A and B are shown apart, each in its own frame.
Chain A
Amino acid sequence: MSARDAILAQLSRATPATLRPAAVAPAPVNGGSAVKIRRFAAGLQAASATFAVVSGPAAVPGAIAAYLAANSLPLRICPGEVPAAVDLRNAAQLEYGADRLPDDGGTLVTGCLAALAEEGVVVLASGTRQVAADAFLAATHIVIVESGQLLDGMDDLWPVLRQGPLPRSLHLIRGPSRTADLGVPSRLGAHGPLRVHVILVEPAYVECADPGDT
């Protein structure tokens, strides 16, 4: 008998249990979009990521440049797959680097598949661009989230995944890479990025309360 058959035969002895139709896992209470943005910002902050909101795609390059300058980082970026409306190639403020990351890490800019307000998470998918590998090799990862991509929480992600073909790999990223193996507090930049910065493109931005005010 093959190992497969032997194990499956052994498993067939199990008594099937029925899943009691419990109340579906209670969902977080959702607020309007301003509340959602505020929770997203708080979630990112708790995970040592940083956050900015801009009112339209044209403002993205400026926000990237401002972030890099504020952190004394070179203005050179390595672009991954970004939203079509965002034009980084012709942005005067930025230096458009090669498609490959430099050996010392560099700055990667990507879009995302979705973002989860509750968990402070951005969701990246594998695809035709080097995204999945680079998102773990870069020193700084800047993620652009379009307003429609911001979901309330994890439970809203699963239906989105079922709508399209499932990507080979999906990465739920919550802040920079970190480790607790060198004592408390955790250290950032264990293997992957030292910095994760999220830029939300939200046309209704002007009407929101200050997203940082949580």
Chain B
Amino acid sequence: MTSTTFPPSPPEDASWSRYFGFNTDAKVIGIQYIVVAFFFFLIGGLLAMIIRGELITPAADLVDRTVYNGIYTMHGTIMLFLFIFPVLNGLNNLLIPTMIGAPDMAFPRLNAVAFWLVPIFGTLLIASFFVPGGPAYSGWWSYPPVSTQNPLGHFVNGQGLWLTAVALSGVSSIMGAVNFVTTILRMRAPGMGFFRMPVFCWTALAAQSLQLIGLPALTGGAIMLLMDLNFGTSFYQPEGGGDPVLYQHFFWFYSHPAVYVIILPVFGIFSELFPVYSRKPLFGYVYVCLASFIIVGLGLVVWVHHFFSSGVAQWMRNLFMFTTMLIAVPTGVKVFAWLGTIWRGKLRLTTPMLFCLGGLFNFVFAGITGIMLATVPVDIHVSNTYFVVGHFHYVIYGAAVMGIFAAIYHWFPKFIGRMPYEGLGKLHFLLTFVGANLNFLPMHPLGLMGMPRRVSSYDPEFAFWNVLASLGAFLLGVSIIPFLLNMVSAWVRGPKATHNPWNAIGLEWLLPSPPPEDNFGEHVPTVISRPYGYGTGEPLVDHQAEIERELTLQEAST
């Protein structure tokens, strides 16, 4: 029967209520992840506004100093564990099955459990604001000995809740990683060998492998910290023969790879979107794929660059300075591949493309400051100053969050079935790009001048740059308004999206928008060429023309 090559019919209108329950459809879970992540993004953002509000004047006049410590700790923790990771897992859920032609994830129930842990540990973390002594106040990295103080002596304390929440986050992430890796390895469409797989799946595979290797080290280290905090052991207490730097090793053995868990999928997004909006194949596809795994390998052996200024041996400093600088090579390969892709392309400056271009710009800037920080003599000088804060916000907000926005605008039509508004999107981009640079650029001169991070008052000579940074932060706060407006109104009454509004190439664009629950079901098309055949006229799958015609007919009849 040849009709099996025809695309599946679009879903009947499913009810809203499925988003509020235990649903095992990866597309529902993906949206659950993203919406919950943005809820926490607003909370984390509110805390950031308080931080920048405090720092707009040199004196500590807005919040109490100890409250301030709790606020920046929770800001960092929420943004990483409750915003970035969940939002990326949301994208993984939406994109991986549809891009490889799988009906769902390999373990749909495990997937749902992994998601539901997020609101649970999120609540736990937020609850720590209300326990005696307040939330954890030792920074997102929770170094001992600060993190092993429990002055009030309560068994339930902010730091303990922090550790429990982070441990649950780890459990959730491992469940997710097992699922994503199994799905990518075992459930690809016929004909989709590894070198026909979209780069986003390559980077997801790379990032999730890092989770699997790195995260258990943090879990182990955190267990020992919890024992020190609540059960009287002395793993990290020098007075009991312990070693506080040991914790820093455990923490960064995971948390450096964690920054690649964040940025790799964003590299994937860039690699997907630049070809679409330049109408050219991805330059150096194979090298971009392989570079992801070189980054995985190197990313596992650079962690000491985060504590050059702690008690580490000189040979270690030299070694890790060297490996850190090596990472710039595969990263550079990718940057040149993107530049090669947009070079002389027919650029379409849509909202997603603008976010990608802005993100790439910010990423290159952050890469340069990263190399500066990797240089031991420079790092000793600026470690623990605002220079570091500037560096990583350029990467995480400037590149990663902007890339995530690009992905949301790009794939919104596919999974919601409606088009977001371009005008609001461009306004969102402008505010974000200007706001981020205004917020984070001044942190570099501040750091070079010697302003330490994590202080609520500072010398008046730093005031000028701090005022600028605070203004940028408020601009970023405002930037979220057009975004939310856009999302809500487009979801409710945006124009209906066709199956392929951007003229993109990829299995997900051969599905109706939104795709039916089991995606292609039994009728997965056979992949016959590499992805990104823009401008080559080469079909991606067998019977592509038939499938497209059928999809267009479907759309015309509804």
| Chains A and B form a bound pair | no
